[in-house]
Structure 1
Amino acid sequence: MMVRKIGRGVAAFCAIAAFASSMTVHAEEAAFIRAGRLIDVEKETVLTDQLIEVRDGRIVSVKPFAPMQDVAIIDWSHYTVLPGLADMHTHLVGDIQGGIIDPLLYTGAEDVLAGAGNAKKTLCAGFTTVRDVGSWRAFTDVALRDAINRGDVEGPRMAVAGGYFTIPGGGGAITGLAYDAKAPEDMTRGVVRGPEDARQKAREFLQHRVDLLKMIATGAVLTVGTDPGLPELSEEEMRAIVGEAKKYGKKVTAHAHGAEGAKMAVRAGVDSIEHGSLLDDEALRMMKSRGVFLVADIYNGDYINEVGTAEDWPEETMQKNRDTTDTQREVFRKAVRMGVKIAYGTDSGVYPHGDNAKQMPYMVRYGMRPMRAIQSATLHSAALLGWEKDTGALSAGRYADMIAVEGDPLEDISILSHVKGVIKGGREVHCK
């Protein structure tokens, strides 16, 4: 059922208050975790009865368990333990996708408060890291990231884009308004008109401390008046944006359903392609040869079909969803066979936050081994972020981010939607 925005600020405030009351548990108190089974995503093995030692929020060692005297241990001996999961396509700020006018009904402050609640739901779902690929109001995601990093809000580690770069009336714009109506300035910061404008606005975003840049290379399913198969930004505009990002050592991703827009983005130097619903073999070969990741949200087409039908979403949106859902899944299957790099991404914010792991069974259904699906949300997502030294595996030196589940996700990957415990930075997260 579609979640509405009524009362969301109150809910977010309660989430923040609950976090403040939980701060009596410190990282140094969670020094040892006993894992009944531990999935080693680096070696693709499963270890039994392991002891994970943590100091200052990072893993010191992983070794067979031996009894210790007078040491507090988090007992996960009845669980399977694996690295905290990562979602590379989220939209935490604001509420989930609604009507055309919804982004104009709330202030940036209200959107960030809603994001605080969404962040906690995401963390409690076992996702200790996210890449947030744009909010309607520029830089509200930066504010949420900073609040989490300060400890004011409990949520996953965030890499944020600050907004989107799009053409006027494009897939990242507010469309469908009356001819004489105008969207607020903070919703148009990423609208570009030519390569030089693109370069200047990329520089502005980078100076506002974003972690990556996002370009809207083609039309979008959920943006009225745009065609997912058609290119939007020119290749010259994309090259200008990527060029500025590289100066700052930042990565760039491109929303691209259509093959031609994706090829333009790959030639421009992006690090990942989002969605990829209509990619052809040439686009996939280009991505493989250049090491460009595919981040394909192959779950939420079913969600859009079910909820959009029940709530009478625009027929244009529903038709575009029908035109891209099955083709996207076949592109995903082909990408797996071809060996294209794949990182886990779900487009959370289209569906309710906290359901991020529902995509895992789809990835297995469309060609991935369960271990590789888990790696897409751990090792491979860390590689896409450039955070390999800090996240993505349970090994010495990395952050002590981990989750516990009952049963074996390598046999039934759907159990990742039923997380029993979450630890971030060595501190146990309280979710109930």
Structure 2
Amino acid sequence: MKVFTSMLNTPLLTKHTRSPLAISLIAAVMISLGHSAYAATYVYAGKLITAEDGKVREDKTLLIDKGLIQDIMDGKVEGNEQDSFYDLSEYTVMPGFMDMHTHITYQNEGTAGYLKRFSNNEADYALAGVGYAEKTLMAGFTTIRNLGDSYNETVALRNAINRGIVDGPRIYTSGKSIATTGGHADPTNGMRRDLMGSPTPRDGVINGVAEAREAVRQRYKDGADLIKITATGGVLSVAKSGRNPQFMTDELEAIVQTAQDYEMTVAVHAHGKEGMKRAILAGVDSIEHGTYMDDEIFQLMRKNEVYYVPTISAGNFVAEKAKIDGYFPAIVRPKAAAIGPLIQDTFSKAHGNGVMIAFGTDSGVSPHGENALEFQLMVDAGMSEMDAIISATYNTAKLLKIEDTLGTLQSGKIADIVAVKGDPLEDIRLLQNIDFVMKNGEVYKHSAE
């Protein structure tokens, strides 16, 4: 009302515009604007997991305004007539989930998918990513790390989502992964000689310290948020070894030091022990997959505060597909059969040895939108339901270094909220059917009727 009174006294209201009709119209506009400006959202939670600790709170209302959690109040508070209210009395409300290992513009299709390197353009990958991003958001994942793409298309997708052009999770992307010649992320593996050429740091292939530094700086220039390297062989690359070390120590140190200069973290694909050991000692932030970890690696990860991102879903997926004749190229199939089944057991041992766990699926290898299956696999391997949820909220925010703004439900933090009917602490499988998704204070999914 103060705003309306002020407007009536402004010089803009001349004698020609002080008519009753003009004043009525201005009043209507200002009342409408006032309702919009001061409208808030109230979310009532029958059960609330804030993820700041292992406690479950009950009978709480979250007040959300301007994309932030303004307050968490006792009891059911519905606000005023102009406010939005969501009654989730029969639901468990949690922070939006985060997946630390995705490939949001790619979907595994076995042998047929390898041919897309020769037929797909940047736009094909980017547009596919639009659909996969929406699936991921609807599954309750409001933030992801994307660890490797083909043409830096995830930088463009991230920007489009941030501008509200398309719907999807908040993306932190590495752009193209960094490999060595013939390494797991060398994009020319398996090609004939005239197509193979000699890829450069711009293409994500390095040899030596100078090129290692150049590759990091190129990714900074490209707009990447972090660095992803492939420190050992991998399962799906068209190359023989799935576990040999593929970077020298000085190359790893150059990558980490340069990344730190640009305030970028370093995520490391690794299956074999020696590659992991070199990477951890060089100062990286996370180990992805980690299949052949042992007690020495567990100790190094604890000492150096390195996160483990397990990707059990992808391991199980490739192990099953390896049983199908012709699904994978002949050079890939034995790697998938040998490495895939081991990751869940590795996770169990790592968790039992006190290694820090951050949730990650490798979605794109496993299907997009099925990210929450990882919760069940983690619990099956011995992690508690609450710890599994915290691994996908607070721990992931810590890995991304955004715990001041995301990862828990607390006053002042960004309103990324998901909810599921029932109690996931009694049945973790419930998280595979999320009913309510809010990101930045905006509701994207509400089937909780």
TM score, norm. by length of structure 2:
0.86
- After superposition, the Cα gap between the structure-2 partners of 1:67 and 1:149, relative to the gap in structure 1 and judged at 3 Å, is closer
Aligned to 1:31: 41
For the residues of structure 2 that align with 1:186 and 1:347, how far apart are their CA atoms?
26
SS of 1:299's partner is helix
Aligned to 1:364: 379
SS of 1:343's partner is coil
1:185, distance to aligned residue in structure 2 (A): 6.8
SS of 1:74's partner is strand
Moved more, 223-232 or 140-149: 223-232
- After superposition, the Cα gap between the structure-2 partners of 1:29 and 1:354, relative to the gap in structure 1 and judged at 3 Å, is farther
Aligned to 2:104: 92
**1:249 corresponds to which letter in structure 2?**
E
Aligned to 1:19: none
Aligned to 1:44: 54
> Which ranges in structure 1 are unaligned for 5 or more consecutive residues?
1-25
Indicate if the aligned counterparts of 1:124 and 1:431 stay in contact, CA closer than 8 A: no
1:30, distance to aligned residue in structure 2 (A): 5.6
Moved more, 297-306 or 33-42: 297-306
Moved more, 294-303 or 405-414: 294-303
Aligned to 2:176: 163
Structure 1 residues 270-349: aligned runs within 5 Å: 270-310=284-324, 312-349=327-364
Say if 2:131 is the partner of 1:117.
yes
For the residues of structure 2 that align with 1:289 and 1:259, how far apart are their CA atoms?
16
Q: Name which of 71, 94, 99 aligns with 1:82.
A: 94
Moved more, 322-331 or 39-48: 322-331
Structure 1 residues 187-202: aligned runs within 5 Å: 189-202=203-216
- After superposition, the Cα gap between the structure-2 partners of 1:415 and 1:186, relative to the gap in structure 1 and judged at 3 Å, is farther
For the residues of structure 1 that align with 2:332 and 2:390, how far apart are their CA atoms?
32
* Aligned-CA RMSD value: 2.0
- After superposition, the Cα gap between the structure-2 partners of 1:183 and 1:420, relative to the gap in structure 1 and judged at 3 Å, is farther
Moved more, 40-49 or 382-391: 40-49
SS of 1:200's partner is helix
For the residues of structure 2 that align with 1:60 and 1:183, how far apart are their CA atoms?
56
Indicate if the aligned counterparts of 1:30 and 1:428 stay in contact, CA closer than 8 A: no
1:263, distance to aligned residue in structure 2 (A): 0.5
**2:435 corresponds to which letter in structure 1?**
K
For the residues of structure 1 that align with 2:102 and 2:201, how far apart are their CA atoms?
18
SS of 2:399's partner is helix
Indicate if the aligned counterparts of 1:94 and 1:112 stay in contact, CA closer than 8 A: no
Aligned to 2:410: 395
Q: Name which of 431, 434, 439 aligns with 1:419.
A: 434
Aligned to 1:205: 219
SS of 2:127's partner is helix
Say if 2:228 is the partner of 1:214.
yes
Indicate if the aligned counterparts of 1:135 and 1:141 stay in contact, CA closer than 8 A: yes
1:338, distance to aligned residue in structure 2 (A): 1.2
For the residues of structure 2 that align with 1:186 and 1:301, how far apart are their CA atoms?
30
Indicate if the aligned counterparts of 1:95 and 1:111 stay in contact, CA closer than 8 A: no
SS of 1:111's partner is helix
Q: Name which of 224, 228, 235 aligns with 2:238.
A: 224
1:299, distance to aligned residue in structure 2 (A): 1.9
For the residues of structure 1 that align with 2:171 and 2:386, how far apart are their CA atoms?
24
1:28, distance to aligned residue in structure 2 (A): 7.3
Indicate if the aligned counterparts of 2:240 and 2:332 stay in contact, CA closer than 8 A: no
Aligned to 1:257: 271
Q: Paired residues, what number? A: 406
1:308, distance to aligned residue in structure 2 (A): 4.4
Indicate if the aligned counterparts of 1:218 and 1:255 stay in contact, CA closer than 8 A: yes
**1:317 corresponds to which letter in structure 2?**
V
Indicate if the aligned counterparts of 1:124 and 1:422 stay in contact, CA closer than 8 A: yes
**1:320 corresponds to which letter in structure 2?**
K
1:186, distance to aligned residue in structure 2 (A): 9.5
SS of 1:348's partner is coil
Say if 2:260 is the partner of 1:246.
yes
**1:218 corresponds to which letter in structure 2?**
T
Q: What is the percentage of aligned positions where both structures have the same residue?
A: 39
SS of 1:312's partner is coil
- After superposition, the Cα gap between the structure-2 partners of 1:413 and 1:318, relative to the gap in structure 1 and judged at 3 Å, is same
1:195, distance to aligned residue in structure 2 (A): 1.0
**1:88 corresponds to which letter in structure 2?**
M
SS of 2:84's partner is coil
Say if 2:390 is the partner of 1:378.
no
For the residues of structure 2 that align with 1:354 and 1:27, how far apart are their CA atoms?
35
Task: Output one character per residue of 1:141-185: Cα deviation in whole Å (capped at 9) or x when no partner.
Answer: 111111111111111111110111101111002321122223797
SS of 2:206's partner is coil
1:44, distance to aligned residue in structure 2 (A): 1.1
Task: Output one character per residue of 1:188-241: Cα deviation in whole Å (capped at 9) or x when no partner.
Answer: 611002111111121111122211001110000011214122000111111111
- After superposition, the Cα gap between the structure-2 partners of 1:431 and 1:53, relative to the gap in structure 1 and judged at 3 Å, is closer
Say if 2:119 is the partner of 1:105.
yes
For the residues of structure 2 that align with 1:426 and 1:27, how far apart are their CA atoms?
14
For the residues of structure 1 that align with 2:38 and 2:291, how far apart are their CA atoms?
45
Aligned to 1:54: 64
Aligned to 1:3: none
Structure 1 residues 124-163: aligned runs within 5 Å: 124-137=138-151, 139-163=152-176
**2:428 corresponds to which letter in structure 1?**
I
Moved more, 311-320 or 244-253: 311-320
- After superposition, the Cα gap between the structure-2 partners of 1:422 and 1:51, relative to the gap in structure 1 and judged at 3 Å, is same
**2:374 corresponds to which letter in structure 1?**
Q
Larger Rg: 2
For the residues of structure 1 that align with 2:228 and 2:279, how far apart are their CA atoms?
11
**1:169 corresponds to which letter in structure 2?**
G
**1:394 corresponds to which letter in structure 2?**
L
